Structure 1
Amino acid sequence: MPRLTRSAGVTAAVLALGLLATAPASGGEPPVTDPRVVAHFDFAAGQTPENIALEPDGSADLTFSTARQVANVSRTGTRILATLPAVANPHTPVVGAAVVLGIARAYDGTLYVNYATGTSETGIWRIPRGGGTPRQIAQLPPNGFPNGLALDERRGVLYAADSVLGTVWRVPRAGGTPTAWATGAALEPVTAPHAGGPPVAGVGANGLRFHRNAVWVSNSATGTLLRIRVRHNGFPAPIQTRATGLYGIDDFGFVERHRDTALVALIGANQIARVRPNGTHTVVLTRQDGLSNPTSVAVRGRTAYVPSASYFTRQDKDPNLLLARVHQRARG
């Protein structure tokens, strides 16, 4: 079983979690500055950070996909919160191995994660506050690939993006039978060639966030960021395409107090792009800043947290957690 290694470098670097979060913004600067890698992980041990949720103290809960682990990175070090059970003969679409993917945190500290295995263990699992034994609360189709995950606390439901089946699943927070809440061509893994590189195939709906009474979903194959408003009766409104040209988009996070401005991870291009409410986008972080196949983004206040998994890097694999300063003055 892979284990998370703890080094003095990780412990020291994580001190920057608090320092960067309180740094003031200055006038005339770009919207994202001062990137720094605050933690490095071991690729060979499966420490490939796929998704992120933030704790109230500013620490980060990460899913280590191929290690099947959930870890907390804080000022005092890195701690394993849970390990998803091993699966004999996994038949997971896309990757073939059992992987833990999206993560969501409830106000009470409970964590929820997506586990893809190609077996009956595929679904949403719950982890107690502070860590402990994971428990499956909902089964999802074993031929699917539940990826991004988000929680709507007010309605008490979870939403999961299925990258293979092109579906957004809705599941009661307490667990139970999933509902195919949203489907359609916009969510499907359609092969879409583009000028920026080879076509992306096999992965459609990927990242997912609940933001301003809407479920937002990225489609990696089509390079789109989608918005699905939740109606008063809980049913989905028609799918809206809010941004295009984001090829290889993975997960994303919204900038606080900026309505629908998002920072999105472009995993293949080793970039973070800032997407404005009008759909235009600008690259704000690159590989030169320390990115190594970024998978997701979380934003709190003036701090952006960016995990990188190094999935496709051929050499110098460096799965890591990077922090950067977000300047709230840059609007729109």
Structure 2
Amino acid sequence: MSRLPRLAGVTTAAIALGVLASAAPVSDERLLTEPRVVAPFDLAAGQTPENIALEPDGSADVTLAFSRQVAHITQDGRKQILATLPPEAHPDTPLLERTVVLGIARAHDGTLYVDYATGTDKTGVWRISPGGTPRQIARLPEGGLPNGLALDERRGVLYAADSVLGTVWRIPRTGGVPTAWARATALEPAAAGGFGANGVKVHRDAVWVSNSDRGTLLRIPVRPDGSAGTVETSASGLEAIDDFTFPGPANTVFAALITSSRITQVRPDGTHTIVLTGQDGLSNPTSVAVRGRTVYVPSAAYFTTKDPNLLLAHLRRHFSR
């Protein structure tokens, strides 16, 4: 999540226009083809698709931020609500002032983990066992905004990117006390009221993080003892970057640029090219996932205020190096 609905208006319009003016052009030879919206959502009901985790059969589990729900969506668009996070009578969530469910990660056994932000003691990581009800397994600071979430099953830990506190939290997969695994200026918002660390992924012995305010994609090496190495900037100029994914074992990234309703391909050398736009059906995309040759993009419609959806597209080639 990046730059929220209550900030819409002149400032948001100016940001969006600046992004449109500075973004790289769409590639002449399309990398992503056959874009189609498979599942629309109800904006009035708070069904703003925020983050995504994929199932082995190609279906998707999506957090619906403002309805506090997790939905299961098949590739042909059938929906089922898997869980609803508990209400909070007096939310005091930083920047939002309302409850919001954000990042999601899936374990191989089907267990789901989500970030829930309320500004109260419910803020933290919650576990949803298959067929079960949500259960909080770790508390995070009430003054923070846990956004992206990633699971490293090999090390048995979760990483949560905090957009307000400029911190990557490390949490035991079984639950417990979180550790401030990485803190750096590069993870912080550029200014008060902004969104810093946002999306997070584990890839090739590193934790990768996007910073929405700074328009950067960051790489944090994981040292042999599990501690964080020095934060490195892998790409910049990614205005209003939200969450992202790796479409293969290489360091190529697909990233959601939320305000301009675009998906960009970020190459290992840091250069980037737009591969999907609003004309394809995007409406403020928030995250990206890839399974085989299928690309999944949830759009939350935070600024367009129309057509929240899940879009699928075909990936023409793999990224193996």
Q: TM-score, normalised to structure 2's length?
A: 0.89
- Determine if the alignment matches structure 1 residue 301 to structure 2 residue 300: no
Contact in 2 for aligned 1:201/1:221 (Cα 8 Å): no
- In structure 2, distance between residues paired with 1:328 and 1:260: 15
1:164 aligns with 2:164: yes
1:182-193 mapped onto 2 (5 Å cutoff): 182-191=182-191
Map residues 229-308 of structure 1 onto 2, 5 A cutoff. Answer: 229-257=221-249, 259-308=250-299
- Tell me if structure 1 keeps the 8 A contact 2:169–2:182: yes
Q: Helix, strand or coil: the match of 1:52?
A: strand
Q: Which amino acid aligns with 2:240?
A: G
State the partner residue of 1:319: 308
Aligned to 2:148: 148
Contact 1:170-1:178 at 8 Å conserved across structures: yes
SS of corresponding position for 1:227: strand
- Deviation string, structure 1 residues 152-201 (Cα, Å, up to 9, x no partner): 0011000000000000000000000000000010000013xxxxxxxx95
1:20-99 maps to which residues of 2 (within 5 A)?
Answer: 29-74=29-74, 75=76, 77-99=78-100
For residue 109 of structure 1, report the CA deviation from its aligned partner. Answer: 0.4
Quote the Cα distance in structure 2 between the aligned partners of 1:245 and 1:204. 15
CA change 1:118–1:329 in 2 (3 A) is closer
Cα offset, 1:229, TM superposition = 1.1
Which residue type is aligned with residue 128 of structure 2?
I
Q: In the TM superposition, what is the alpha-carbon distance from 1:330 to its structure 2 partner? A: 6.8
Contact 2:205/2:222, CA 8 A, preserved across alignment: yes
Amino acid at match of 2:111: T
Q: CA deviation at 1:331?
A: 7.3
**Higher RCO, 1 vs 2 (CA within 8 Å, ≥6 residues apart):** 2
Q: Distance in 2 between matches of 1:322 and 1:76?
A: 10
CA distance in 2, matches of 1:243, 1:91: 33
- Aligned partners of 1:287 and 1:218: how far apart in 2? 21
Mapped to 1, the partners of 2:206 and 2:320 lie a distance apart of 21
Q: How many residues align?
A: 293
Aligned to 1:101: 102
Q: Distance in 2 between matches of 1:310 and 1:331?
A: 33
Distance 1:184 1:330 in 2: 30
> In the alignment, residue 264 of structure 1 is paired with which amino acid?
A
1:124 deviation in Å?
0.1
**Residue of structure 2 equivalent to 1:222:** 214
- 3-state secondary structure, aligned to 1:66: helix
Provide the C-alpha distance between the structure 2 equivalents of 1:90 and 1:168, rounded to a whole number of angstroms: 23
Q: Secondary structure at the match of 2:67?
A: coil
| Correspondences of 1:106-117 after superposition (within 5 Å) | 106-117=107-118
Contact 1:219 1:249 in 2 (8 A): yes
- Letter aligned with residue 161 of structure 2: A
Classify the secondary structure of the residue corresponding to 2:290. Answer: strand
Distance of 2:134 and 2:184 partners within structure 1 = 32
Question: Structure 2 stretches of 5 or more lacking a match?
Answer: 1-27
Work out the CA distance in 2 between the residues paired with 1:225 and 1:44: 33
Please give the secondary structure, in 2, of the residue aligned with 1:44. helix
SS in 2 for 1:288: helix
Change (3 A) 1:154 1:305: same
The one-letter code sitting in structure 2 at the alignment partner of 1:228 is: I
Which structure 1 segments of 5+ residues have no match?
A: 1-27, 192-199
Please, what TM-score do these two structures have when normalized by structure 1? Answer: 0.86
2:81 aligned partner, one-letter code? I
Letter in 1 for 2:82: L
Q: Deviations over 1:113-167 (max 9, x none)?
A: 00000000000000012x3210000000000000000000011000000000000
Please give the root-mean-square deviation of Cα atoms over the aligned residues, in Å.
1.5
Q: Distance in 1 between matches of 2:37 and 2:50?
A: 16
Distance in 2 of aligned mates of 1:87 and 1:137: 17
Task: Please tell me whether the aligned partners of residues 95 and 193 of structure 2 are also in contact (alpha carbons under 8 angstroms).
Answer: no
After TM superposition, give the deviation of residue 30 of structure 1 in Å: 2.4
Give the whole-Å Cα distance in 2 for the aligned partners of 1:245 and 1:181.
26
Deviation at 1:326, TM superposition (A): 1.1
Query: 1:133 maps to which residue?
Result: 133
Report the 3-state secondary structure (helix = DSSP H, G, I; strand = E; otherwise coil) of the residue aligned with 2:255.
strand
Whole-Å separation in 2 of the counterparts to 1:100 and 1:65: 5
AA in 1 matched with 2:173:
R
> Conserved in 2, the CA contact under 8 Å of 1:256 and 1:300?
no
CA, structure 1 residues 119+33, in 2 after alignment: closer, same or farther (shift >3 Å)? same
Shift of residue 103, structure 1, vs aligned partner: 0.1
Separation (CA, whole Å) in 1 of partners of 2:245 and 2:41: 22
